[in-house]
Structure 1
Amino acid sequence: MNKKFDGYVIVSDLDGTLLDNNKNISKENLEAINYFTQNGGKFSVATGRVVEATEEYLLKIEVNLPIIVYNGGVIYDHNNKKILSEKFVDDNQKQIALRIKEDDENIGIEIYANRKLYILRDSGNSIRSATQMLDIIYDITEDVFSMNWHKILVVGKSDVIDGIEKTFEDKYNIKGTRSGKTSFELLPANESKGQALKSIIEMYNLDQSKVICVGDNMNDVELLQEAAFSFCPKNGSEELKKYADFIAPSNEEHVIKHIVMWVEDKLS
């Protein structure tokens, strides 16, 4: 017997979207996700966070597709605790991290590798909700450059990151992505949340015409572009809103509940 949400997929960003300002999933969002999946829907998350800082949020909800972490660098089967796809930054990007360090003393630079966080330059903000599950290594050696890096994160005051975002591609001849008010990232070449979602659609033979995505910052732009229906919460980046089909309530107002109700109305 068919269920009402059969074939529909919702993929949500975490910070600033599914999570409220206190980094919690509201009761209303929890209930909406479980209602959606119990009635045939597929739900997953796409985040810049690492696996360990994502899984704590998945304990109360049914995630029935692989999750996207490291902003698309890793596709992870949460239910079977298995990496399905894993990409790494290249040597050129590693050298650019050193150039950034030389060019701007007002920023922190973090390297994500081997399920640890290596601090190339300390911003004073490396201990936060997204990193609390990781070992943080402050005294790094040259050995770190022989490791496989999942991503490079540049951290600083919002106005400093604004400047980096505006000039980065021209200055370094490589693309990066804004992932928050105080963060900018270098990801593996040609990887993104959207590219990872495209892979999942192919892996699981999903109906792309029923894929719905929601995110709040420019690291979500490819995710929204891959969706048939895209949402940006009211609190999201003004630039990202230009790419969204719909503006949802803010992350303090139960974004996923709003989207599930929207799908239900669409089907009625």
Structure 2
Amino acid sequence: MAKAVHYLYNKETRWIGGERLVNQTILVSDLDGTLLNKDQQISQQNMAAIRIFRELGGIFTLATGRMEAAVAPFIKELNLDVPVILYNGARIYNPITHEVLYDRHLPLTQELWQQIMNRLTADIGLFVYRNGQVYTPNRNQLVVEHEEKDKVTCSLLTEMTVMDNITKLLLISSDLNKLKAIEQLVQDHGVPHEIVYSEWNYLEILPPDVSKGNALQALLQILSIQNAYTMAVGDNLNDISLMRSADRGYAVANAHPDLKKAADDVTIHHEQHAIAAIIKDYFIEQGVTLDEPFGDSASDGENCRRND
């Protein structure tokens, strides 16, 4: 018989099936295409599941390619009090103290910067992230659409010289050949860097050794939780390192095929409240019955398919 956890009035209970403490469990979620729905919102089902998970002592946080300003509304909505992973792993940020706990920069040279600028056309949007701000040399339609999506405003680059303290470069285009040409240009130049595609048409140039997975390991050191059990969920290629770094990695059903291969489990579509399904399935596997349902996303332990 499953063990009932009466979390509303028995919050001191922390054991999961007699095996693992909930307050040693960390769930890290991507935002776009994972936690957020198509309207860029967190569903009530996901909100309820995260609340219960945290009330039981679990730690929930985010790992996203977004910058501080673009995650601030969701941090507030979730009332997060633990550090979040930003810029695809280049920065770890404390939303309570606004302190940067982990920071990496791209060693961009003037020569490479000028060559990238020379490749820009009207169908490429370029974003330069530095010191918590975002800049663009040309506010074209791609830039405007990205500003609307992330609810940020780019400052216009007036100086064409390379800047220091660059956190990442983002290039957006529907012409993949042009993105691949810029990717090859960076590779040939020899500047230490990492390349990742956070969406099919989002090319990100990151500092060397930067990934969500490496940032997760840095976060564990920051939190200093002994014997922490980590779960991670994502949808795209920039989440592969997160899958490999976590003890258990989940890909949503709408994820890139390569991410599904890297994950331990494949859960339901993000529009079906995947985070709620993962949390409930996790509790069910540990023999726990919750007193409060999560809503329409509730599963019977069948929403996640394990990759063998």
Question: Fold conserved (TM > 0.5)?
Answer: yes
Is 1:10–1:213's contact at 8 Å kept on the other side of the alignment?
A: yes
Q: Deviations over 1:134-158 (max 9, x none)?
A: 4x22342145x23321110011016
Number of the residue aligned with 1:51: 68
Is 1:97–1:152's contact at 8 Å kept on the other side of the alignment?
A: no
Structure 2 CA distance for aligned equivalents of residues 70 and 221 of structure 1: 15
Amino acid at match of 2:250: F
Shift of 1:95: 4.3
Structure 2 CA distance for aligned equivalents of residues 154 and 123 of structure 1: 12
Number of the residue aligned with 1:206: 225
Is 2:271 aligned against 1:252?
A: yes
**Given the alignment, which residue of 195, 200, 211 partners 1:176?**
195
Is 2:30 aligned against 1:13?
A: yes
Size of the alignment, in residue pairs?
265
Is 2:153 aligned against 1:138?
A: no
Amino acid at match of 1:82: E
Residues 189, 46 of structure 1: alpha-carbon distance in 2 compared, 3 angstrom cutoff: same
Give % identity: 25
Residues 28, 165 of structure 1: alpha-carbon distance in 2 compared, 3 angstrom cutoff: farther
**Given the alignment, which residue of 50, 75, 91 partners 1:74?**
91
Structure 2 CA distance for aligned equivalents of residues 14 and 166 of structure 1: 25
Q: How big is the alpha-carbon RMSD for the aligned residues of Structure 1 and Structure 2?
A: 2.4
**SS across alignment from 2:106:** coil
Number of the residue aligned with 1:96: 112
TM-score after normalising by structure 2: 0.78
Is 2:172 aligned against 1:155?
A: yes
Is 2:47–2:78's contact at 8 Å kept on the other side of the alignment?
A: yes
Is 2:43 aligned against 1:26?
A: yes
For the pair shown, the structure with the greater C-alpha radius of gyration is: 2
Higher mean alpha-carbon deviation, 55-64 vs 161-170, is at: 161-170
Structure 2 CA distance for aligned equivalents of residues 168 and 249 of structure 1: 38
Q: Deviations over 1:126-180 (max 9, x none)?
A: 233454234x22342145x233211100110164477459857765555410011
Residues 104, 137 of structure 1: alpha-carbon distance in 2 compared, 3 angstrom cutoff: closer
Q: Deviations over 1:196-247 (max 9, x none)?
A: 1101112223356610001111111111111010011111111211111111
Residues 28, 129 of structure 1: alpha-carbon distance in 2 compared, 3 angstrom cutoff: farther
Is 2:49–2:279's contact at 8 Å kept on the other side of the alignment?
A: yes
Runs of 5+ in structure 1 lacking a partner? none
Shift of 1:78: 1.1
**SS across alignment from 1:110:** strand
Structure 2 CA distance for aligned equivalents of residues 200 and 55 of structure 1: 19
